[in-house]
Amino acid sequence: MGLYKLPVRYEHDPRMNPQKILVLGAGRSSSVLIDFLLDHASDNQWLVTVGDMDLSLARDRVNGHPHGVALAFDITHPEQKREVAHFDLVISMLPASFHLIVAELCAAAGINMLTASYVSDEIKALSETFEKNGAGLIMEMGLDPGIDHMSAMKVLDRIKGAGAELRTFETFTGGLLAPSNDDNPWKYKFTWNPRNVVLAGQGYVKFLQEGKYKYIPYQKLFKRTEVIHIPEHGYFEGYANRDSLKYLDAYKLRGIQTLYRGTLRRTGFCRAWDIFVQLGATDDTFQMQNVSEMTHRQFINSFLSYNPNDSVELKLAHYMNLDMESEEMYKLKWLGMFEEELVGLDKGSPAQVLEHILKKKWTIQPDDKDMIVMWHKFEYVEDGKLKKLQSYMAVEGEDAIHTAMAKTVGLPLAVTAKLILQGKLVVSGVQIPTERSVYEPVLAELENHGINFTELETN
């Protein structure tokens, strides 16, 4: 016997033959996605099942909705894997490492699938199986990646369609605090996976600048930033994402002079974050000793030279060439990095310990509001003249559940699911949303939900 059953009201009414949607993962980024699907379920005759290892979390997301079902779901469980075949569409909000399992099941069963995560070579290899079985998988259908692809391609295709020569494309996205809730000196809190924030940028960064291939090692990344002014929203600083070069083909940009993808933070963030990088506090390659007895202060001190006569603050300031009253030192003090407070972990790598400390101050609170900012810059030659264009978007969250991050990650998935189930979008094989047939209808509907881009020509 399978574990999944239609609710009784469907089993006893032969007229009710709902399209069945499975959302795997009920975490923070799923809130707006699930709300959208449930809000549209009655009009479209959908049955929305939310599966999560934590049944109580799935139930909270469904919230007793008559067209929703909460299910304790483990995608690694052999019997539950077979349950995927019951559905018409699967949306995976699981950690990235589980997407391949879901994709293999959907490809074999001919079920359409969506996810916001990056496409991998292993999943890309399933494209032929999806195609053969009359189904498709769109990956990178969230915010970044997702909205960035679609909004950029809309402009890039228009520029190329006009016969212009594209010279430069730069794109930055940031998940930040809304200005009204900007109550800490970092002007930042976690709005997505904290672990990914702590590990961001590790490895080598690759991009193209003025026709030259450029590389930045991790230890230099947060020193190599640029200041970006976004009209109506002020000044930000951007640091480079890991590999911009893979988008030369994804965006059909071979021959472009500059291609740069990056992340936005408020000004001053990167200089302070670089202290953790230089100390080695973001290292995830080894386990620290005596973590269960470690305090915040001892954590910082463990990366500094031994000197019983100097304070931890003085040693750090000297090591990093900082003034004791500098903005960077103040940011660290605000985080409680020098406090004799127990970390609260039994074991962990430096990165895991740092993450745990940061969560104490950087966790979104019920009355906090976040903000997503996205900015593109295009330079191109048209009719012999160099033209410059900016395209930008900002979205504020409502509260700690219905965040701007959840909205901008979840709505592209939800809107795409709606278009597929209504037969307005046909998906075949494994793809990302860079084709006009995908991005045009999705962006058009996202505008109805407050996700709008402003274009501005500059000198």
Query: Mind listing the pLDDT tens digit for each residue in 294-332?
Result: 999 999 999 999 988 899 999 999 999 999 999 999 999
Q: Per-residue pLDDT averaged across 145-166, rounded?
A: 94
Per-residue pLDDT, 184: 87
The answer to whether position 451 is within a domain reads: no
Residue 57 in this model has a pLDDT that exceeds 70: yes
Residue 87 in this model has a pLDDT that exceeds 90: yes
Confidence at 14, pLDDT banded by 50, 70, 90: very low
Mean pLDDT (the chain) is 92
Among 15-19, 66-70, 144-148, 389-393, the least confident range? 15-19
The answer to whether position 26 is within a domain reads: yes
The answer to whether position 2 is within a domain reads: no
Q: Are 373 and 389 in contact (CB under 8 A)?
A: no
**Phi, psi dihedral angles at 161 (to 5 degrees):** -65, -25
Per-residue pLDDT, 11: 45
Q: Per-residue pLDDT averaged across 142-165, rounded?
A: 94
Same domain as 331, residue 350: yes
Q: Per-residue pLDDT averaged across 219-246, rounded?
A: 93
Q: Per-residue pLDDT averaged across 219-230, rounded?
A: 94
Domain of residue 46, CATH code: 3.40.50.720
The answer to whether position 456 is within a domain reads: no
Domain of residue 219, CATH code: 3.30.360.10
Structure tokens at 52: 């999560």
Same domain as 265, residue 330: no
Per-residue pLDDT, 4: 52
Count of domains observed in the chain: 3
Per-residue pLDDT, 142: 95
Q: Are 111 and 90 in contact (CB under 8 A)?
A: yes
Residue 8 in this model has a pLDDT that exceeds 80: no
Same domain as 77, residue 165: no
Residue 13 in this model has a pLDDT that exceeds 70: no
The amino acid that residue 346 corresponds to is: D
Per-residue pLDDT, 193: 84
Residue 114 in this model has a pLDDT that exceeds 80: yes
Same domain as 152, residue 234: yes
The answer to whether position 443 is within a domain reads: no
Q: Are 451 and 147 in contact (CB under 8 A)?
A: yes
Closest to 453 measured CA to CA, from 379, 388, 390: 390
From 139, 159, 185, the end of a domain falls on 139
| Residue 182: Cβ-neighbour burial (10 angstroms; 0-12, 13-18, 19+) | middle
Same domain as 325, residue 210: no
Segments forming the whole domain that contains residue 308:
286-362
Residue 102 in this model has a pLDDT that exceeds 80: yes
Same domain as 251, residue 301: no
Confidence at 192, pLDDT banded by 50, 70, 90: confident
Q: Per-residue pLDDT averaged across 257-264, rounded?
A: 95
Same domain as 384, residue 348: no
pLDDT in tens, 331-369: 999 999 999 999 999 999 999 999 999 999 999 888 889
Distance of alpha carbon 59 from alpha carbon 123, whole angstroms: 30
The amino acid that residue 328 corresponds to is: E
From 299, 334, 362, the end of a domain falls on 362
**Overall pTM > 0.85:** yes
pLDDT in tens, 28-46: 889 899 999 999 999 999 9
Distance of alpha carbon 22 from alpha carbon 24, whole angstroms: 6
Residues in Cβ contact with 266 at an 8 Å cutoff, skipping those fewer than 6 apart:
176, 182, 186, 187, 188, 236, 237
Same domain as 231, residue 218: yes
Same domain as 54, residue 12: yes
Residues in Cβ contact with 198 at an 8 Å cutoff, skipping those fewer than 6 apart:
282, 351, 354, 355, 358
Closest to 247 measured CA to CA, from 121, 153, 138: 153
The answer to whether position 279 is within a domain reads: no
Per-residue pLDDT, 9: 46
Residue 376 in this model has a pLDDT that exceeds 60: yes
Per-residue pLDDT, 354: 97
The answer to whether position 106 is within a domain reads: yes
Distance of alpha carbon 79 from alpha carbon 77, whole angstroms: 6
From 116, 139, 162, the end of a domain falls on 139
Q: Per-residue pLDDT averaged across 128-157, rounded?
A: 95
Alpha-carbon 441 to chain mean position: 22
The answer to whether position 448 is within a domain reads: no
Same domain as 352, residue 332: yes
Q: Per-residue pLDDT averaged across 371-389, rounded?
A: 94
Per-residue pLDDT, 51: 95
Same domain as 93, residue 46: yes
Confidence at 182, pLDDT banded by 50, 70, 90: low
Same domain as 117, residue 159: no
Distance of alpha carbon 390 from alpha carbon 344, whole angstroms: 45
- Cα–Cα distances (Å) from 177 to 86, 105, 116, 174, 359, in that order, read 40, 38, 22, 10, 15
**What percent of the chain stands above pLDDT 70?**
96
Residue 25 in this model has a pLDDT that exceeds 50: yes
Q: Per-residue pLDDT averaged across 160-177, rounded?
A: 94
Structure tokens at 235: 């000044």
